Amino acid sequence: MGVLRPVAMAKVGLLGLKDDRERVLTALHDLRIAQIETLSPEALKETVPERGTELQRKIGDEALRFRGLLSALPKAPTGAPVPLHSIDDILAAAARVPIDAEVGDLKREDDRLLTEERSIDETTRLLEKLAFYPDRLEYLRAAHFLTFFGEADAGAYAALRAAMPAEADPTFFESPSADGMRFLVVLRPAGADALARVAQGRGIRLTAVPDLAGTPAEETARLAARRSEVVRRRAEIASRLAAVSVQWYPTVAALDEALTVENRKIEVLTKVGAGRSTFALEAWVPERDVPRLETALRGIAGDKVYLYRIPTHDEPPTLMDNPRGVRRFEFFVRFYSLPQATEWDPTLVFAIVFPIFFGFMLGDWGYGLVILLISLWMIAGFPGARFLPGAPKRFVKLIMGPKGMQQLAYALLPGCVLAIALGLYWDEFFGYKLFHAWFGYTAAIDPANNVGLLLLFAGYVGLGMVTLGFLFGALKEHFHHHPRGVVAKAGGILFAWGVALFGLAVIHKATSFSANPLFGVYIASMLIGILLLLFGEGIQMGGMAIIEVVSHILSYTRLVGILLASVILALVINTIGGGLVLGGTVLGIVFGLVILLVGQSFNVILGVFEPGIQGARLIFVEYFSKFYTGNGKRFAPFGAERRHTVPSVSADGTAVGPLVQGPGGA
């Protein structure tokens, strides 16, 4: 488990006999600890790329076949995982599955019937709207006339009729509807362009009348009977597919998984080098998992497979492995940029600091409780979301998908709890001071009355975050053997503390050496810090760093600014809305309740976005900028979890199931 650092990686090479290659690749797949890389130029000199074979093409064809069968069959219980000993066993078992023709015919028929059913439903809906037409539909078909059905409001319909040229010889059948007018228009082809132009300009949707013979009522009855036949036949097909699935789904699922594994092994062969009787590959493996890999290889091939470490300066892939609670906040770090494998993982600090910032800026137990309940609703999977208005749902989906929303909800939970606790202490409930009104309670520290104290607190928070960022930066520069970088980061710390303490001394008018014996230390700290920054970063970058240090510390005062903005906005809403409600008039009560409901809802939305965005920004910009590079490459190990077939190795690398062999066994 990695805390503050991504998991350490080792680049390893593997050399073995071709006879053992299939078993080795199967074990690597089931262990899921190796990201297989393209061979280095040095290794390629001694090997050649693997070429495709007829067997590999056959495996690919069979994989496509069983993927199609699996998607066609309804799911059924699969039972215990199936052992498959070799590629020969897999292909032999696949050849014994005889259901392709029947399943294919049934699915094609079902697809055709589904298309027909949807067409019937669409035609039936149109015929219901054509109920005002009394004659047979075949009368609307003629070689020299076109017929369309449309719906429009009264104004658009009148414009359409007026725009029809005389040579079109139009005839209209119309009927009022709840939305305006339903109509049939029969015209010569010469008027088609004018009809289409006006319809498009007025937003009128025209539909061609279906090629039917009877009256709308007769055709509706006929289509209803045909639809019943279609539904009955589709039910028979579903029943037959279910019966086939009960018998064959476990076998199909196991073979699909086994063939998918073999396909993955074929795909990775493009990165594997081959000799006359040997093979070679290179991979990134977590340092902690190298012993497991060695154990697995010994169990497969004994001393016939050679595993060795490769010294390299290449940037390893990044694997983040934080504790479970902290892992929820990896979402934010990945959203910003994945850390490089050789730098600090900032997730732990983010997991501690972000909830504190969020809860402090929210600071109201009413808002905190509402956002907490919304977060729990999101974590539960959005139950009842179908009843919400469409526009808000579409807006939320534009911002973030359901999985992202759930990750955000998990991250907001501790911040909401802190907001509730601070709100109870500050006596803030949607801007109302309930405890003061009920019990005469007054908080010792109140946001509205102790702004200076809270600003001082925010300044110290900023100083601490900037210092921590510089500290991580200095350690990173040390580990990367950049001594001037270490000097610059140390200068940043000295300058940050010097300018902060110098500013406090000026505020408290303690700028004389007699009143403040440490005043000279503050000045010396600033000057030494400036010199170290200029030496470590250079004149231009060091000068910018000096400005950034001051601005970044002061930037944390936004913690208080957003808190006060929420408090004052709630006070304004309550004053205006509450005043109207207490005015006593019916109109005033209605308007007052609307202002309270809309205003407080708006403040709740701001309570999510402002503390969330600004809290993350203070970490991303003012903290990350001191040490964080990002742009890491995600660790993507070869392999996937098995569900229907027996894995070849256990979690500790020892063999637990049959190892897939090449053709003919081993």
CA 66 centroid distance within chain: 30
Instruction: Look up the pTM and report it.
Output: 0.79
pLDDT (average), residues 602-618? 92
Please give the pLDDT value at position 1. 58
Tell the CATH topology of 111-226: Alpha-Beta Plaits (3.30.70)
β-strand pairing of 180-187 with 171-177: antiparallel
Q: What is the pLDDT of residue 644?
A: 93
* Structure-block tokens of residue 178: 């709840």
Percentage helix, strand, coil, to 5, in the chain?
65, 10, 25
**For residues 94 and 46, which has the higher predicted lDDT (pLDDT)?**
94
Ordered by start, the domain boundaries in the chain are: 111-226, 321-362+364-446+558-634, 454-556
Round to whole Å and give the CA distance between 647 and 656.
7
Distances (CA, A) of 315 to 78, 99, 307, 551: 43, 50, 21, 33
Radius of gyration of the chain (CA): 36
CA distance 477 to 220: 79
511 or 296: which carries more pLDDT confidence? Answer: 296
Q: Which residues contact 545 (CB under 8 A, 6 or more apart)?
A: 488, 492, 533, 537
> Can you give the pLDDT at residue 392?
64
The pLDDT tens digits of the residues spanning 473-510 come to: 999 999 989 999 999 999 999 999 999 988 888 887 77
Task: Label residue 666 by pLDDT band (50, 70, 90).
Answer: very low
Residues of the chain with pLDDT > 90: what percent?
A: 59
What average pLDDT does the segment 254-261 reach?
95
Vertex 263: Cα angle to 258 and 268 (nearest 5)? 130
Q: Which helix (H) or strand (E) holds 230?
A: helix 216-268
**Which long-range contacts (C-beta less than 8 Å, at least 24 apart) are formed by 459-462?**
459/500, 459/553, 459/554, 459/556, 459/557, 461/556, 461/559, 462/552, 462/553, 462/554, 462/555, 462/556, 462/557, 462/622
Lowest-confidence pick of 46-50, 121-125, 238-242: 46-50
SS3 312: coil
Sign of CA pseudo-dihedral 42, 48, 52, 56: negative
Residues of the chain with pLDDT > 70, as a percent, come to: 95
User: Quick one: average pLDDT of 575-600?
Assistant: 88
State the Cα–Cα distance between residues 591 and 581, nearest whole angstrom.
8
In 178-287, the DSSP E strands lie at 180-187, 205-208, 273-274, 278-286
Cβ–Cβ < 8 Å for 418, 433 = no
Quote the CA–CA distance of 17 and 187 in Å, as a whole number. Answer: 80
In total, the chain counts a number of residues equal to 666
Give pLDDT, residue 665: 41
User: pLDDT tens-digit profile of 182-209?
Assistant: 999 998 888 888 888 888 888 888 988 8
